[in-house]
């Protein structure tokens, strides 16, 4: 059973066909782009309130996306 958070992540990632091969998430490509701070990917992830509230912190000067915390469930073979 998918959690609400995983459902939201999948909905955002579905907007990026380059991260999918059929129904399989191309985790290494996604992780590489996250670590490379791919702007359009991060903007889409941060546009989702649940993802933003879970994986970011707000500073006076802006928002920091917690890339490593986001990668952990992706890298641990969570089924998307």
In whole angstroms, give the CA distance from residue 55 to residue 21. Answer: 25
pLDDT digits (tens, 9 = 90+) for 29-61: 999 999 999 999 999 999 999 999 999 999 999
Kindly report the number of other CB atoms within 10 A of residue 41's CB atom. 20
Residue 25 CB: number of other CB atoms within 10 A? Answer: 20
Q: Where are the domains of the chain?
A: 4-75
pTM of the model: 0.86
Instruction: Return the pLDDT at 69.
Output: 94
- 14-30 pLDDT per residue, tens: 999 999 999 899 999 99
């Amino acid at each position: 059973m998918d959690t609400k958070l995983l459902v939201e992540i999948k909905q955002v990632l579905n907007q990026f066909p380059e991260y999918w091969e059929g129904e399989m998430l191309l985790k290494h490509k996604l992780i590489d782009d996250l670590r490379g701070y791919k702007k359009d990917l991060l903007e889409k992830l941060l546009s989702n309130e649940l993802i933003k509230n879970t994986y970011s912190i707000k500073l006076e000067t802006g928002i920091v996306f917690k890339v490593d915390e986001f990668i952990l469930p992706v890298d641990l073979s969570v089924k998307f």
